[in-house]
Amino acid sequence: DTGVSQNPRHKITKRGQNVTFRCDPISEHNRLYWYRQTLGQGPEFLTYFQNEAQLEKSRLLSDRFSAERPKGSFSTLEIQRTEQGDSAMYLCASSPGQPQRTEAFFGQGTRLTVV
């Protein structure tokens, strides 16, 4: 399967714990995006990488959130000191570098439940 892969698919954690999600994009894609989606809403943009450089961060990305893409391949999204409001589906997407602003390829998402 050469699509975008996300792990884990589901995560249940206690409030206050840290969690980390992983995204493996399509191998030849140098753009990688993280989105968050709550029930009944469309995805909301969190952050974006071009290769290993994090180029844009939404104001939704509080200081408890950090994302990395150390070698320009896979990416991790960490949430520290989780809160119940962090419960959501976290979606990763990738796209080719050129042409810009084209379609994005999404993974199946990681559903986070904070109890």
Question: Is 32 within 8 Å of 26 (Cβ atoms)?
Answer: no
Count residues near other proteins (CB under 8 A).
31
Q: Which of residues 29-48 bind other proteins (CB under 8 A)?
A: 31, 33, 35, 40-48
Beta strands in 51-109 (DSSP E): 53-57, 65-68, 75-79, 88-95, 105-106
Nearest-approach distance from CB 39 to other proteins, in angstroms: 10
Nearest-approach distance from CB 115 to other proteins, in angstroms: 19
Helix and strand numbers (H, E) in the chain are 0, 11
Nearest-approach distance from CB 16 to other proteins, in angstroms: 26
Q: Which of residues 52-111 bind other proteins (CB under 8 A)?
A: 55-56, 58, 60, 89, 91, 93, 100-109, 111
Residue with tokens 């979606």: 91
